[in-house]
Amino acid sequence: MSNKIKQIAIYGKGGIGKSTTTSNISAALAKAGYKVMQFGCDPKSDSTNTLRGGKYIPTVLDTLREKNAVQPEEVIFQGFAGVYCVESGGPAPGVGCAGRGIITAVQLLKQLNVFEELELDFVLYDVLGDVVCGGFAMPIREGIAEHVFTVSSGDFMAIYAANNLFKGIKKYSNSGGALLGGVIANSVNAPYAREIIDDFVKKTSTRVIEYIPRSVTVTQSELQGKTTIEAAPDSEQAKIYTRLADKIAGHTESKAPSPLEIKELREWAAEWADHLLAVEAGEVRGAAANI
């Protein structure tokens, strides 16, 4: 056990695969012998499902609504390889701010001294990255997480969300906020996805920490309510997640990214659209088609 708990936030737009990625990182780190907590920061409260056989757990906000005082064992549950699972939860539908649950849950666990008492090595915050509002930005803004990674595909809306996140990181970087460790490139076997992400990270002065292909192994594992690390430990996909977990465990240097202004982002996307159209029309051939 290291003296310092390494706190990491993983962001990404809804549906991009950030919970799948985070859970597999948690499972791989726990399997390697680390003490890990996964902290679900999405109102859907399904971040930790695949670490617990597909089961949902009571959320911090729901538990607080029922009673004033909460004991750690009422909101912290162990899953695969001993990973501690927590879900912040959200407000009742149509009421209040979804990000508020993150603030409340983090403050509660800090008051209860949970991180130290469990002697954790890693806390992974799985955070919705569509809106970097006050609550969702909390792990960055208050420097709760030291390192931020974002999951993105080559899809424009995923890149748009990543660029917005970069703006939030840059904004708080001078006041002790978290810094960017890099981009986890997901679904990179889609046509041109890898080239598009590589170009985006180059433009924003960041880097790709790992490329993750889309795989039926992941779907198969999740249908069993498990991570790929648990359900298919010898698969190629599990090896990729394990390699990513090793990189995150050893990661020390993060920095502020250089986000694109919206006009620059639109122009960049339009250039790619023109290039792909030319490729499809057969106007670009050979090596130039892969640029």
**Residues annotated catalytic, as ranges:** 13, 18, 44, 130
Give the H or E element holding residue 142: none
Between CA 8 and CA 124 the distance in angstroms is: 5
Spatial distance between the Cα atoms of 223 and 232, rounded to a whole number of angstroms: 12
How far separated are the first and last CA of the chain, in Å rounded? 45
Which three-class secondary structure state does DSSP give residue 225? coil
Question: To 10 degrees, the CA torsion angle through 20, 21, 23, 24?
Answer: 110
The H-or-E segment that residue 94 falls in is: none
Beta strands 84-87 and 77-78, pairing class: antiparallel
Supply 190's token pair: 């889609």
Residue 213 tokens, joined: 């292909």
